[in-house]
Structure 1
Amino acid sequence: MTGLYDEIRIAIHSVWNRRWLALAIAWGFCLLGWLGVAMIPNSYESEARVQVQTQEFLSNKVGISANDRARNIQQLEQTLTSSTNLEKVIRGTELGQTVVSDREMAGKVEGLRAKIEVKSEQDNFFAITVKQSSPKLARDVVQKLIDVAEEDSIAGDRKETGQTLRFLEKQIQDRQVALQEAEAKRVEFETKNLGLLPGIGSVSQRLASARAEITQIDSQLVQARSALAALNSQLAGTPQSLSTPSFGGGGASASPSQVALSQALADLGAMRARGLTDNHPDVIAQKNQVANLRAQAKASPSTGGGSGSFSTPNPAYSSLQSLRAERQASATALASRKAALEGEISQLTSQQTAEPGVAAEMTRINRDYDVLKKQYDDLVAERNNVALRGDVETQTDAVQFRVINRPTLSSVPAAPNRPLLLAMVLFAGIGAGAGAAFALGHLQTSFPTAAKLERASGLPVIGSISQMLSSEAREERRRKLKLFYTGSFALVGVFALLLVAEFVQRGITA
């Protein structure tokens, strides 16, 4: 510990003995350092925070998904500092006043890109930071960058939509021409092979349709013939006329039983005319009632003088005949239609066997036409969808800029930190002077203490004599110390003046 203390004393003594050298070096180092700091240009920073909002109006209807909105935001972030946008920013601010050539513009663009920082934050927030030589210019650049990005987003959407619509219109026109050619080809082929391919559709399709219709007619014909047979059996059991008793003397009248019998027979004929069979419960009950009334009519005497009978047409029989004629006509029509379809099937089968190539060609033409028609319809639907989507994105501002924090205007330079740099130069100058004095002391062959001389020579040192100064020498020493202190305080004073000048300049800039 004593050795370390001695070394510290020796170092301080060595520096103190060469204090003028240390002060001179400190002054020179500080002046050069402060000059270098003064030559560093100020860089002011302006920052703004914006939120990019995506419009969700009719998003699901026109196919604008969440991935599309995320892609739009990502593209916006990538194109925010594109060369085109930065060129617009330069021309819209003071930076473009000195640009006279494309080469200078390219250099300005690269320099501005290096001074712009875009940070993506959560919830579609962006922090835009710009560094420039003046606070007003930095703020103007940030504001212009936001304006250009917003205009570029809207114009980009319209441009992309316009290009897509032009492409779809070209494709629709091409498909329309091809569709017209296919239609003309199909009409020409059908006209040329009219005798071989009558009707609509291919031979196979028409054969399948005819066979399906024959199957349906067979079922209807069976039902019609069954109904006709049942009606014939009902007609066979229905009398053509009804016997009605008559009485002489012109004033004869039928008995109540005979009148009821006539009414019951008419009701029975009406039931059979409706298609009810003899096994129907209502028909059975009505027949029983007719039998009872017939027995009563035979047993009851006639009223009035003289008796006789005459026959009248049965209305039920007439109704059943009309219904039978109608059902016979329906069955005949179905049989005729079946015969016509069988003849058509025979003709189509013979045509298909005789000309299989014509049928195959017709099938191919129809298939090509259907494919072109589907493509044309899909393209028309896609064009309408893109047009609606473009209207939604442009007219409703699908991408909106919301400025959360407006561009700042700071009077404090973001770089350099001059007060810190000035202080660092001061301490570095003092350290450089002290270090130079200490190094020079080690280079000289002098011994500040007797112990050090004894260790260096290996001989015992009997004693040491202190320096004796006269009064004139002491006065001279005090005068030099005053000069040294004055020089030291002057160095610190220059540092303080530089700090004051820096803060005054900031106030003037603000």
Structure 2
Amino acid sequence: MDGLYEQLRISVHQVWRRRWLALGVAWALCLAGWLVVALIPNSYESRARVFVQLQSILPNQVGITALERQGDIARIKQTLTSTENLERVVRRTELNTLVASERDLAVQVDNLRKVIKITAQQDNLFEISATSSVSGFSNAQNARLAAAVVQNLLDLFVEGNLAGDRDEAAQSLTFLDEELRRREQDLQAAEQRRVDFEQKYLGLLPGEGSIGSRMASARAELSGVDQQLVQAQSSLAALRGQLGSTPATIPGAGGGIGGPATNQIAQLEAMLAQNAARGWTDAHPDMVSIRSQIERLRPVAAREPAGGGGIANPAYVTLRSMVAEREAQAQAASARKAQIQADLAQLESRQATEPGVAAEQAKLNRDYDVLKRQYDKLLEDREQVRLRSDVQNKTDAVKFKVIDPPSAPRIPVAPNRPILLTLILVAAIGAGIGAAFVRGQLQTTFPTQSRLEAATGLPVLGSISEVVTEQGRAVRRQRLVWLGGGAGALAASYALLMLVEFWQRSTVA
């Protein structure tokens, strides 16, 4: 412990003997460091926060998803620091005084891009910050410039969404309108070619579609007409059978309408009509038997006196009218069948003589369908764009709210001069002490008897203290005053620099 204490005393003594060296080194380092700090321009930073609120009801109804709206915000954030926007910021702020040519404008834009930051703090909350440290500007000018840059960026952030959406929507609508007009003209021309073709080749058959589809439709209609004709003929045969078995008159006040043989013949003829309606042929045994009975009864009926006094049978009259109606239906079906068959034959003849007709019609239909789909799609897109534009521009689908306006900086964010000045002072003093200590270690002197004994290996008999005269003491006191003055001047310089720094900050505020 005694050795350590002795070593400390020796070190302090060595430094004290070289105190002027320590003071000179401290002064030199302080002057150099403080000069460097003074040359560093102050940097002032301004910040602002903006909240972006997204509607979630109406935009979703028209197909504007939340992901698309987030993409719009990200796009605005990325394009906010574009060259065009930064040029507008330069023109609107005091940086415009530094611009004398396009090259100066490009330099200012590049410097401005480096000091602007846009940070997404949390959901839909953004912070815009800018730092200003222009060497030619005063502290107050740099502070105002930082706030002005942030304010202009905030304005561009809002304008970029609203104006950008309107411009984009207007350009999209203009383009879609032009395309719709062009497609409409092409569609009308294609439709006219189809009409001309149908008038030339497809006027024979009703309906729409290609030749094959129309012929298939005509054949299906022909099959239906055949069924109607068969049904009409079958119904007509049945009605004729019933008509044959129904007497035209019924007995009135004068008695019967004929003899027994005549009535029996009428009944047998009615049976013949019914069996024919069932589909029996004349070769059927029952049909042959009935006809034989009729032939045997005719001579007998011819000899019977004619009856009189009969009245018209209502059932006979009704059946007669129904037979006439079925005959008309059968004739109409037959006529329609003949017409369809004639049209099919004529169309098949044209198709055979002109094999390219089907290919030409397919091409016309294909072109028309393609143009129609394009036109419908463009029309739908135009209405969708118009609706989305109305939603975004008229209902405020995206709202901007400034949470914190651009701050007016009063204290520079860099450099922190009070801390730097203090650190330089402490480091300079430490360097001066260190220089004095190193200088003392390099000199080959022996501050104590023990050091001399250790170095020579010989015993030291004694030591003589320094004798200082009154004149020497006066000189030492004078030098001590000078040393205190130099140290005090150093401390006063530090205090003066700190005072100037805080005074400059007060002028900014």
Smaller-chain TM-score bracket: 0.7 to 0.9
**Does residue 144 of structure 2 align to residue 145 of structure 1?**
no
Letter of the 1:47 partner, please give it.
Answer: R
Q: Which runs of 5+ in 2 are unaligned?
A: 134-141, 256-307
1:23 matched residue in structure 2: 23
1:364 matched residue in structure 2: 363
2:180 matched residue in structure 1: 172
Shift of 1:227: 4.0
2:383 matched residue in structure 1: 384
For each residue in 1:211-257, what CA deviation from the matched residue of structure 2 results, as whole angstroms up to 9, or x when unmatched? 1112222333344444444544554554444445589xxxxxxxxxx
1:326-365 aligned at under 5 Å gives the runs 326-365=325-364
CA–CA separation in structure 2 for the residues paired with 1:188 and 1:325: 44
Report the more deviating stretch, 490-499 or 435-444. Answer: 490-499
1:159 matched residue in structure 2: 167
Q: 1:196–1:351: 8 Å Cα contact kept in structure 2? A: no
Structure 2 SS opposite 1:463: coil
1:219 matched residue in structure 2: 227
1:434 matched residue in structure 2: 433
1:469 matched residue in structure 2: 468
Structure 2 SS opposite 1:129: strand
1:438-449 aligned at under 5 Å gives the runs 438-449=437-448
Structure 1 SS opposite 2:402: strand
1:79 matched residue in structure 2: 79
For each residue in 1:170-193, what CA deviation from the matched residue of structure 2 results, as whole angstroms up to 9, or x when unmatched? 4334434433443454455556x5
Aligned residues: 448
Q: 1:88–1:148: 8 Å Cα contact kept in structure 2? A: no
CA–CA separation in structure 1 for the residues paired with 2:333 and 2:60: 54
CA–CA separation in structure 1 for the residues paired with 2:83 and 2:234: 90
For each residue in 1:416-445, what CA deviation from the matched residue of structure 2 results, as whole angstroms up to 9, or x when unmatched? 111101110110110121111112212222
Report the more deviating stretch, 466-475 or 212-221. Answer: 466-475
2:413 matched residue in structure 1: 414
CA–CA separation in structure 2 for the residues paired with 1:195 and 1:153: 56
Report the more deviating stretch, 206-215 or 5-14. Answer: 5-14
CA–CA separation in structure 1 for the residues paired with 2:223 and 2:9: 128
1:122-271 aligned at under 5 Å gives the runs 122-133=122-133, 134-187=142-195, 189=197, 193-194=200-201, 201-236=209-244, 238-245=246-253
Q: 1:46–1:129: 8 Å Cα contact kept in structure 2? A: yes
Letter of the 2:23 partner, please give it.
Answer: L
Q: Evaluate the alpha carbon distance shift between residue 330 and residue 462 of structure 1 in structure 2; reply closer, same or farther with a 3 A threshold.
A: farther
Q: Evaluate the alpha carbon distance shift between residue 194 and residue 342 of structure 1 in structure 2; reply closer, same or farther with a 3 A threshold.
A: closer
Structure 1 SS opposite 2:81: coil
Structure 1 SS opposite 2:49: strand
Q: CA RMSD in A?
A: 3.0
Letter of the 2:113 partner, please give it.
Answer: R
Report the more deviating stretch, 408-417 or 345-354. Answer: 345-354
For each residue in 1:375-397, what CA deviation from the matched residue of structure 2 results, as whole angstroms up to 9, or x when unmatched? 22322332332233333333444
CA–CA separation in structure 1 for the residues paired with 2:166 and 2:235: 73
Q: Evaluate the alpha carbon distance shift between residue 369 and residue 148 of structure 1 in structure 2; reply closer, same or farther with a 3 A threshold.
A: same
Structure 2 SS opposite 1:121: strand
Letter of the 2:357 partner, please give it.
Answer: V
**Does residue 402 of structure 2 align to residue 394 of structure 1?**
no
2:112 matched residue in structure 1: 112
Report the more deviating stretch, 157-166 or 145-154. Answer: 157-166
Report the more deviating stretch, 451-460 or 42-51. Answer: 451-460
Shift of 1:207: 0.9
Q: 1:57–1:392: 8 Å Cα contact kept in structure 2? A: no
For each residue in 1:335-365, what CA deviation from the matched residue of structure 2 results, as whole angstroms up to 9, or x when unmatched? 3212322232233223322321223222222
Q: 2:205–2:343: 8 Å Cα contact kept in structure 1? A: no
Shift of 1:124: 2.0
Q: Evaluate the alpha carbon distance shift between residue 316 and residue 461 of structure 1 in structure 2; reply closer, same or farther with a 3 A threshold.
A: farther
Report the more deviating stretch, 391-400 or 113-122. Answer: 391-400
CA–CA separation in structure 1 for the residues paired with 2:328 and 2:8: 140
Structure 2 SS opposite 1:151: helix
Letter of the 1:91 partner, please give it.
Answer: R
Q: Evaluate the alpha carbon distance shift between residue 245 and residue 181 of structure 1 in structure 2; reply closer, same or farther with a 3 A threshold.
A: closer
Identity of aligned residues (%): 50
1:277 matched residue in structure 2: none
TM-score, normalised via structure 1 length: 0.79
Q: Evaluate the alpha carbon distance shift between residue 2 and residue 214 of structure 1 in structure 2; reply closer, same or farther with a 3 A threshold.
A: farther
1:34 matched residue in structure 2: 34
1:279 matched residue in structure 2: none
Shift of 1:81: 0.9
Q: 1:231–1:324: 8 Å Cα contact kept in structure 2? A: yes
CA–CA separation in structure 2 for the residues paired with 1:76 and 1:505: 38
CA–CA separation in structure 2 for the residues paired with 1:197 and 1:97: 84
Letter of the 2:159 partner, please give it.
Answer: E
Letter of the 1:352 partner, please give it.
Answer: Q
CA–CA separation in structure 2 for the residues paired with 1:196 and 1:244: 61
